[in-house]
């Protein structure tokens, strides 16, 4: 008789933590009032913040002056939520 190896699957003991993704558009690109600054964001509500927009020009990442000026203020949100992940939307 030949015995084929078996393995047992275990179920996780805890539920995975859900991702709560927030999206922030740089003021002026779609927000004509320009009043929504990153300081209005409650970073405890988000696991991730996606900042829009950057683009690809001639195979290189291209950012606007608005994103360059605003991104440091978004990064400051990590002081309130050190596990916050910050991403840039490219498109």
**Residues in the chain where the model's pLDDT stays below 50:** 30-31
Q: Give the Cα separation of 33 and 40 in Å (integer).
A: 14
List of residues 6+ apart from 50 with CB closer than 8 A: 21, 22, 23, 24, 87, 88, 89
Question: How high does pLDDT run on average in the chain?
Answer: 86
Q: For residue 26, what pLDDT is reported?
A: 82
What pLDDT score does 35 carry?
67
Assess contact for 50 and 22: CB atoms under 8 A. Answer: yes
pLDDT of residue 87: 97
Confidence (pLDDT) at 72: 95
pLDDT at 1: 56
- Listed residue (48, 36, 43) closest to 81, CA to CA: 43
Q: Could you identify the residue written with the tokens 């558009």?
A: 25
pTM of the prediction? 0.74
């Amino acid at each position: 008789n030949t015995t084929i190896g078996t393995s047992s699957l275990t179920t996780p003991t805890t539920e995975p933590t859900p991702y709560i993704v927030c999206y922030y558009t740089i003021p002026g690109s779609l927000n004509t009032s320009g009043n929504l600054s990153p300081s209005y964001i409650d970073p405890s509500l988000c696991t991730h913040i996606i900042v829009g927009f950057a683009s690809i020009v001639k195979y290189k990442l291209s950012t606007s002056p608005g994103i360059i000026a605003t991104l440091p203020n978004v990064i400051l949100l990590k002081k309130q939520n050190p596990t916050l992940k910050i991403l840039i939307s490219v498109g």
